[in-house]
Amino acid sequence: MSDHEGAGESEAEECLMPERVPAQGTEGIDGTDGTDGRIEGQIVQRGDAGYESVRASMVWNALKPQRFPDVIVRASSERDVPRAIGLARSRGLRIAVRAGGHSWFGSSVRDGGLLLDLSRLRRLDIHRDSATATVQPAVTGGELMSALAQRGLAFPAGHCPSVGLGGYLLSGGLGWNSGALGPACSSVVEIEAVTANGEVLRCDKERNADLFWAARGAGPGFFAIVTSFRLALYPLPQSLMTTTYAFPLADVERVTDWVTETADELDPTVESALVLSTAAPHMTTQSPRPRVVVAGATAFADSAEEAADALAPLQACPFAERALFSQLDEPTSFEALHDNSAAVWPPEHRYAVDTLWSQEDFTTLLTKLSDTIAECPSDKSLVLAPIPPVSSDEELLSNMAFSVLGRSYVAPFAVWDDPAEDDLNIRWLREAMSAVEPLGTGHYIAEADLTAAPTRAERSFTPQDWQRLQALRARYDPEGVFHSYLTPD
């Protein structure tokens, strides 16, 4: 595929180029796929001296899964993708795919088979005339946003800037300003995908439309390999502004009632959320820092006046005097938002995460979860509840495997750094989920704990969409070349 075809492509600006690495064969596997040439990238086989360091690097989480692929292929370019498929087929190996490695439970790291690492597919072309970008899967959201901001453009990239776009977009993508722009996958207008038989396909609403539909939300069980995404872009908001309150955790019921009622008055360009957590250092002088419920909102606007007007309903908090911390109408930037997210989800930490959609109201869910956060073993853990979780615009939710499975959404995050506390923190996550799971209607495939129950993946889609995904898997991957969704050991 040429990244410069179509209207306006002569104005494309190349921002990133993929890394080149020397080919490296291993004993017993010579890197030949049996069809059209030698793999240019690195091949690492289990038992090689460098295998474990490469395997561990496949997951951003410091908590590494105890699963071991037979072979890891680190693609040098998109040319290596069909070759790696050919290699796997010739050896009878199932394939899992990794782009940025931010799957909390390492969905791409499987026992046996071939792990195809796309982390060197990092090309980014911005087409100003058509307001689109062509990105390869390992470009991060932070890199995309930075390049776009220099050109007055934006995209609903993920809140954590180091997340690779490949897994983020395939899973739906709940990112910045998604209330106005929808899940990120709704802005995917074309993909290039390599199928189980090595065929390279262009997919959009007209061409290979079923595969295009599945790529917009199927997540880690997608049954092809996307080597590039074509994205619709949007004007860069000229003014970003935040309002933040932190209240004692005991106030969770009244705070949640107020925020959910006020959210109905907010424009879709205001992204609001509740967080149950330990108070950040700047919020209090108490020691130890107390557990709190934080109400935050960010306006994405064209002027400071417009941003302040959008946040105005949050000025009238009827119990503002109870706040341990408050900061109203604070100007910010995407860079600052990304810095804040990086502080919440720092590298070199251990993570366990799950998600829940529900038809219950947020007050019911967060009241139950407040009891668990009060007993949380790590002061870095939190419960996130975006209100509302995503756009209510049906047009922005159409023609995609991603679907909204409830009116409320919560995501507990266990975050810690001591390996000796792994069992303690994972048990906390499971107990937090057990407090609300009877009220659940499903999960979000991007961050669901697929190791918790064999039904996690299926319950991340409507029954109709799940059946359609299974039928399309049978059509595009009848021999089971690609691993399906991760399940408990």
- Residue 47, Ramachandran bin (φ over 0: left; ψ between -120 and 50: alpha; else beta): left
Does the pLDDT value for residue 25 go beyond 80? Answer: no
Task: Quote the pLDDT of residue 213.
Answer: 98
Would you state the torsion angle of the CA atoms of residues 455, 67, 117, 338, taken in this order, to the nearest 10 degrees?
70
Please compute, for residue 102, the number of CA atoms within 13 A of its CA located in the half-sphere on the CB side: 28
For 349, counting Cβ atoms within 10 Å of its Cβ (0-12 exposed, 13-18 middle, 19+ buried), the class is middle
Confidence of residue 20 (pLDDT cuts 50, 70, 90): very low
CA distance to 99, 342, 377, per residue, from 424 (Å): 30, 24, 7
For 340, counting Cβ atoms within 10 Å of its Cβ (0-12 exposed, 13-18 middle, 19+ buried), the class is middle
Architecture of domain 42-117: 2-Layer Sandwich (3.30)
**Mean pLDDT value across the chain:** 92
* pLDDT tens digits, 154-210: 999 999 999 999 999 999 999 999 999 999 999 999 999 999 999 999 999 999 999
User: 123-235, which class in CATH?
Assistant: alpha beta
Report phi then psi at 179, rounded to 5: -65, -35
Q: Which residues contact 203 (CB under 8 A, 6 or more apart)?
A: 190, 191, 192, 193, 209, 211, 212, 215
* Nearest alpha carbon to residue 458 among 273, 221, 279: 221
* pLDDT tens digits, 344-396: 999 999 999 999 999 999 999 999 999 999 999 999 999 999 999 999 899 99
Confidence of residue 270 (pLDDT cuts 50, 70, 90): very high
Third-level CATH fold of 239-460: Vanillyl-alcohol Oxidase; Chain A, domain 3 (3.40.462)
The predicted model scores a pTM of: 0.93
Report the percentage of the chain scoring pLDDT > 70: 92
Provide the residue ranges of all domains of the chain, joining segments of one domain with +: 42-117, 123-235, 239-460
Amino acid at residue number 103: S
* pLDDT tens digits, 132-146: 999 999 999 999 999
* pLDDT tens digits, 401-416: 999 999 999 999 999 9
Please compute, for residue 42, the number of CA atoms within 13 A of its CA located in the half-sphere on the CB side: 16
